[in-house]
Structure 1
């Protein structure tokens, strides 16, 4: 981990478990980002141990969404906007069966379809913020019926 450093003040690396790193800044080095995502790296601003961030930090703000454009987990679209070097893209309907949502409580990954169909984690029963679905167009194609 010696190659990982915060890129500017106010951002830090917080280790939750050996294979689950919450990352609050940017990394300099030669790490393979696909490997980092597979190990549940969550990029965001002031990310806590359950994926809450500086923008969304209520008790039930406990998910991170893998952004389809970069295959990186972020707690919210605002963290992506601040930290990514590219605009966000939404998950297309034809990829809704892929793992794209991470429960910040138990680390279970859900498909887009499974996440959109529930308000709680099927693994640990943690409650998800129901208001997140009010701005799902920031993450997921909207030509999908939730029923």
Structure 2
């Protein structure tokens, strides 16, 4: 009986390790689902201080019905709102049928000369869970 319990414990541990350590499928990394008939692929962006910056979404396929709406928000990284960018606590973007669309975030500027910083644009499902993240790199023109 002890051998069986040890074998079951080892098997459960091996299964857990496989689930945790296996790489995520491509659909989980870098694409945001927008319905059963389409996929919105999020892209990273590089922006300069003191300008509006576009974060692009490329839509492949056709959203269900008249289109899809995707929720998003920003999250601090090494760039911190409000000094480095204007935070977006919650917003929505409409996804067109095919083609691409973009959302705009404002990158603030300061007097400090600094290296590249980054913040995130998180795309959310209806329950507020993060589906995908685009990284926005903020560059200081004075540093280049």
- State the TM-score, normalizing by the size of structure 2: 0.23
Higher helix share: 1
> Which is greater in Rg?
2
- State the TM-score, normalizing by the size of structure 1: 0.23
Bigger relative contact order, structure 1 or 2 (CA pairs below 8 A, ≥6 apart): 2
Higher strand share: 2
